[in-house]
Structure 1
Amino acid sequence: MAPENQPSTGPPTFNEENYHIWDIKMKAYLKALNLWDVFELGEPSIHPLRVNAIPNEIKKYDELVTRSPRALTCIYSSNTDVMFTSIMTCETAKKAWDKLKEEFEGNNRVKFVRLLALKREFEVLKMKDLDSVKEYSSKLMEIVSQIRILGETFPDQKVVEKIMVSLPNKFE
């Protein structure tokens, strides 16, 4: 059984698909383990333990010394074997995280182009006569979810307006 305030399952698995969903789940997992700052800030500087350290200082020192290896283990174990081979040479958790992010999310320009494409897809999507309202709204929400995953705010009101404006005449 997992210690109190710790996840009871292992890290989410990443297998080259749905990077953005894995990213969100993995961040939550790492935050639950109090390890996210290792990925965000990189390796902390650890000062040597003084000779006459008290047990509380020793405990804190041991925690600091093991945080980076635990963080690296989390990211290694969250990847399939195929994905692991692309990050296995990374010596720090931050380097491994950044490498996956660069490869699967792309840089800001790639994200911007992807956002534009999704927004265009949202704007040009029309409900077909054979589509049900549920099918059409599901298609729209899938596009909206991808836009939101990329960090763009997208109000629900805009989705409702799109549905109302693009309904075929038979729904008037």
Structure 2
Amino acid sequence: MSSDRRLPRILVDADACPVKDEAMRVADRHGLDVIFVANRFIAVPRVEGVRLQVVSDGPDAADDWIVDEVEAHDIVVTADIPLAARSLEKGAAVLGPTGKPFTTASIGAALATRDLMSHLRETGEITGGPRPFAARDRSRFLQELEHAANRSKRTLAAEAAEA
């Protein structure tokens, strides 16, 4: 891992993440480190800049590790809305695996919708889950991660120039 904090890192909530390869591809193109966080071993390439962080099997262990580690301008990849909210509070950019960015403007509605859907599922009102992951989701993710990487790098470079 590079110690050059003038570059953002990509932290991936890796359990069941369908865009691991895409995250590595964008990280490699931009010279960024990528950390996959999971509560079990997953295969990741043994190359510079790619790391697997295995955490305990607790319900929020991966989320807690990411929040403890993430810094402003890092990029978090997760479908977990509460983790997205916590990461945004620390100044990170956050993307869902479908490429949907979570923002400070949208996270409140996302949390409210999550809570409503959870309540409806508990009462037996909703039996379906999210739509299947599609090729267009992968393409949108690549595009949005590319934008997020460029924004984070520009912002960090501007802050370093001012210091």
Normalising TM by the smaller chain, what interval? Answer: under 0.3
TM-score (norm 1): 0.23
Larger of the two Rg values belongs to structure: 1
Q: Structure 1 or 2: larger helix share?
A: 1
TM-score (norm 2): 0.23
Q: Which has the higher contact order (CA 8 A, sep 6+)?
A: 2
